[in-house]
Amino acid sequence: MTTTMRLTPALGVQRSSDETVPRPEPEPTFIELAARWQSTGRAVPGRTDEEWTIFARRYPRPGR
């Protein structure tokens, strides 16, 4: 049996001014895979990637 998890870009998707659709719970398969990735130091979707954060903070400087 194949399961698919659909990711939502935010905690909820706002459809109108007073309606929010809650984010679905992650599939157990994804939870297990994410735990394995995190234990080996790999990036996990939905969690902050410290290495990328440091890289993205660096601004290119002209002349270097």
Q: What's the pLDDT at 35?
A: 92
Q: What's the pLDDT at 7?
A: 58
Q: Is 13 helix (H, G, I), strand (E, B) or coil?
A: strand
Q: Bridge partners of 20?
A: 14
DSSP E strand stretches across the chain: 12-16, 19-22
Question: What pTM, to 2 d.p., does this model score?
Answer: 0.44
The C-alpha angle with vertex 60 and arms to 58 and 64, in degrees rounded to 5, equals 120
Task: Provide the total of helices (H) and of strands (E) in the chain, helices listed first.
Answer: 2, 2
More confident residue, 7 or 24: 24
DSSP 8-state secondary structure symbol assigned to residue 34 = H
Task: Please say if the pLDDT value at position 4 is more than 80.
Answer: no
Task: Please say if the pLDDT value at position 31 is more than 80.
Answer: yes
Mean pLDDT, the chain, whole residue set: 76
